[in-house]
A = this chain, B = another copy of it.
Amino acid sequence: MLASYAPSVRFETLDDALAALRERGLRISTPRRLVLEALFEAEGPVSAEHLARRLELDVASVYRNLETLERSGLAAHLHLGHGPSLHVLVGRGEREYLYCEGCGAVETLVPDALDRVRAEVRRGFGYEARFTHFPIVGLCPKCAASPPGRR
């Protein structure tokens, strides 16, 4: 139980992901493969702009591919504060983050780390909270300790 929002299928490897795309009748163009590889190699969530620059691809193509990957259940995007959307691979677990508004740090969480928080929201309001699209934002222990530091 504790349904969570884990993907129903897990794509652990690049080949798994490519196979899934082929099964959907999608083609494996060079840009598409590059984007997918870059997501596999990424340390954390990345922006379309970042991928385009790093891979020397047109940003429009990157956006279209990210959308395709998202519709295929291979990738997802999330919002950390202001600025561009960030993209991650789905299927290897880590989909939830804690974002510190003080120092900008992003802490990657293991899959069920927020289950107790979700349970608390469910208990109080009946809402099934998702923290995948809009992660929990706050102040990390260090920033929470330092001077009031508004904003």
A residues contacting B by CB (< 8 A) are: 79, 81, 98, 100-101, 107, 113-114, 116-117, 120-121, 124-131, 133-141, 144
Contacts and interface: CB of A to CB of B under 8 A. Distances in A.
A141 B126 contact: yes
Contacts of A127: 98, 100, 107, 136, 138-141, 144
Task: Count the copies.
Answer: 2
Given A113-B124, A120-B120, 10 more contacts: A107-B125, A116-B124, A117-B120, A121-B136, A127-B136, A127-B141, A129-B136, A129-B138, A130-B138, A131-B137
B139 A130 contact: yes
Contact of A130 (B121, B134, B137): B137
